[in-house]
Amino acid sequence: MQPLAAMTWEEARDAAGPGSVAILPVGAIEAHGPHLPLETDLIIAQAMARAGAGRLAARGAKVVVLPPLSYTAAAFAGGFAGTVSLRPETVTASVVEIAGALARHGFATLAIANAHLDPGHLASLDAAVTAIRRDSGLTVAFPNLTAKSWAVRLGDEFRSGACHAGQFETSVVLAERPELVRDAIRAGLPPNPASLSRAIRDGKRSFEEAGGARAYFGFPSQATPEEGRATIEVLGAILDEAVQAELGAGTGQPR
């Protein structure tokens, strides 16, 4: 298990082939409340990728972790400073071209470790997965964490939909990069139980419309690094299971 970007080309050549898995962490640069950094989704995606890679390597897979895809569709956070949002079709094209390059060099499976749940972004990844499967012959696993089969494993706050920059995400950043959490601010943030997922179903198009005037939802003051470490292990297991399911049954869902 190595970062692809740290390899030489010959090492990358030898890491490809049957049984190889390339993991692409995908996040965003977007507002995550007044207490978390703009790169929060990237931190979570990279932690998920690392944990999943460890599990896959233990199964005997040849695993590389790609540099993260940092920019994506983030329209819901577009009203907040620092958010960088791309058109969904740009994201789809980027993922498809990354997959094409991997396929040409002999990698067998692409696993997408995604921690960004903006609806435009998820749609762009779904479109990319469809195109990759149709055109490249590359096996691709993309566990969409909003699917019930995965979401039920990620805690009450996540299941409620009030989880952007809340307890779930803040816990992971506390575990991974505690120096980036503005802890004095976090401790004083009141709960915001407004469900972002429900707002999306109701047709809301921004954090502001959904009830997140400061770009957070949930219970950030309740976050702990212990919960974050446990969450990372669950995310790693989900990625591993999605790959195994894709290889075994082509469903992308746990068996």
| pLDDT tens digits, one per residue of 15-67 | 999 999 999 999 999 999 999 999 999 999 999 999 999 999 999 999 999 99
**The CATH fold of domain 2-248:** Rossmann fold (3.40.50)
3-state secondary structure of 22: strand
- The full set of domain ranges for the chain reads 2-248
| pLDDT tens digits, one per residue of 62-83 | 999 999 999 999 999 999 999 9
- Buried b / exposed e along 207-219 (16+ C-beta atoms within 10 A): bbebbbebbbbbb
**Model-level pTM?**
0.95
